[in-house]
């Protein structure tokens, strides 16, 4: 009886500025090695985990951004999208590609895979038998987004150069200190989901009383937006998962019309569907970043500008905790990689990829 070949997996470095998270942590890499995997990890000074942490558990280290020379039968795993390029992609990639919902540049991304005969398993669309994502950063995205919103509100939008926090406790302490005194009134949209629960938990932990936290979900939004109630809170956190076109939650016309009566000071768009044509927050058009996290949107002469945070990788403010939780949840699916042509989670993800490539070819 022949022994099946060892499954290889290559953890690439992240090239997006300020991205400190990792799809594989040393602990999950160790678990995969114990399951018979060969794990290669690119050296990455930006990653929250030191290279030596991976080496100690048995990973092979490779040079930064050397995955292009990896064997073609070795899947490449990462988190954020690859740098913009026209280079055909020949490998199997496991990552968030942000190209299945007609985001900006979606067709170009998919054509790189088509031209290189590569495959994309988009982490956003790895789902269990109930259609729920097997792994998501939603909780920590909401948690961090709520923190940024509270900090921005406390400083009238004058926050810059955000740095990662050592842990949730340190983040909570920073927010508590910033909002000491009169707590803000806040609204979390999508409060029943993972992301929304994270936002609500941060606000509660920071000492905001429950009556100051409006928790909205599908029942509250059934009447369709825009919603005047959003203008009557200090901080609005958008945590919904956008799957189809919906009426906007709030508009610039609505904000202008409110004039000085508007209470709303800060919007944090955790969902960050910035380039999605169906973005339910059509009050901004660009992403912000950790160096300049807040965009100040004019709202009419004599009115205070609207603070908007549209960072698309907020969980990296808690990089170690977020990575450990995500990678731990992804681990059972990764263990099925050697059998990915039969394993449901991978078969469905590949079928969706083929469907999206066909859509790109038709456009």
Find the CATH number of the domain harbouring 332: 3.40.50.720
Pair (221, 351) in one structural domain: no
16-30: average pLDDT: 96
Pair (30, 87) in one structural domain: yes
Residue 44 labeled ligand binder: no
285-304: average pLDDT: 96
Concatenated DSSP letters for 134-149?
SS--HHHHHHHHHHHH
Decide if 347 is inside a domain: yes
Pair (87, 142) in one structural domain: no
The contacts of residue 252 (CB under 8 Å, 6+ apart) are 282, 283, 297, 299
Residue 217 labeled ligand binder: yes
Pair (204, 309) in one structural domain: yes
Tokens describing residue 297: 């949107």
- The answer to whether the CB of 276 falls within 8 A of the CB of 232 is no
Decide if 344 is inside a domain: yes
> What is the model's pLDDT at position 4?
54
79-90: average pLDDT: 96
pTM of the model: 0.90
Decide if 39 is inside a domain: yes
- Preceding omega of 226 cis (within 30 degrees of 0): yes
Decide if 131 is inside a domain: no
Residue 288 labeled ligand binder: no
When divided into structural domains, the chain yields a total of: 2
> What is the model's pLDDT at position 94?
98
Residue 51 labeled ligand binder: no
DSSP, res 74 = S
Q: Count the Cβ atoms, other than its own, within 10 Å of residue 61.
A: 13
Computed on alpha carbons and rounded to an integer, the radius of gyration of the chain in Å comes to 21
Residue 193 labeled ligand binder: yes
The position carrying tokens 């290889």 is 8
Residues in the chain: 363
**pLDDT above 60: residue 92:** yes
Tokens describing residue 143: 């948690």
**Residue 306: strand pairing partners:** 297
pLDDT confidence tier of residue 166, bands split at 50, 70 and 90: very high
Decide if 345 is inside a domain: yes
Give the range of the structural domain holding residue 167, as residue numbers without chain letter. 137-317
Residues with catalytic roles: 80, 98
Pair (287, 344) in one structural domain: no
Quick one: how far is CA 40 from the chain centroid? Answer: 24
Pair (35, 64) in one structural domain: yes
Tokens describing residue 169: 């406790």
C-alpha angle with apex 185: 180 to 189, nearest 5 degrees?
130
């Amino acid at each position: 009886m022949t022994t099946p070949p060892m499954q290889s997996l290559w953890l690439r470095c992240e090239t997006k500025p300020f991205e400190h998270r990792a799809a594989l942590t040393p602990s999950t890499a160790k678990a995969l090695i114990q399951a018979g995997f060969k794990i290669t990890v690119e050296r990455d000074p930006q990653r929250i985990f030191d290279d030596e942490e991976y080496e100690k558990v048995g990973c092979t280290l490779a040079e930064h951004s050397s995955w292009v020379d990896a064997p073609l039968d070795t899947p490449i795993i990462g988190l954020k999208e690859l740098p913009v390029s026209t280079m055909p992609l020949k490998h199997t990639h496991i990552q968030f590609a942000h190209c299945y919902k007609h985001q900006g540049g979606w067709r170009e991304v998919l054509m790189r895979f088509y031209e290189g005969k590569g495959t994309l398993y988009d982490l956003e669309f790895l789902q269990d038998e109930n259609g729920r994502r097997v792994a998501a950063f939603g909780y920590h995205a909401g948690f961090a987004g709520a923190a940024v919103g509270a900090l921005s509100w406390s400083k009238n939008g004058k926050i810059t150069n955000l740095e990662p926090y050592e842990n949730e406790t340190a983040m909570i302490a920073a927010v508590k200190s910033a909002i000491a005194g009169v707590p803000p009134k806040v609204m979390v949209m999508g409060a029943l989901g993972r992301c929304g629960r994270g936002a609500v938990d941060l606000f509660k932990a920071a000492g905001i009383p429950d009556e100051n936290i409006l928790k909205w979900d599908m029942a509250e939004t059934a009447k369709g937006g825009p919603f005047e109630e959003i203008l009557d809170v200090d901080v609005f956190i958008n945590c919904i998962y956008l799957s189809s076109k919906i009426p906007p939650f709030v508009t610039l016309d609505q904000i202008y019309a409110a004039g000085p009566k508007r209470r709303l000071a800060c919007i944090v768009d955790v969902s960050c569907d910035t380039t999605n044509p169906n973005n339910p927050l059509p009050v901004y058009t660009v992403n912000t970043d950790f160096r300049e996290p807040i965009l100040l949107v004019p709202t009419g002469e004599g009115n205070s500008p609207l603070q908007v945070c549209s960072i698309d990788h907020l969980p990296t403010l808690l990089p170690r905790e977020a990575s450990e939780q995500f990678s731990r949840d992804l681990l059972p699916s990764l263990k099925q990689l050697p059998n990915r042509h039969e394993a449901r989670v991978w078969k469905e993800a590949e079928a969706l990829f083929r469907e999206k490539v066909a859509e790109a070819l038709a456009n």
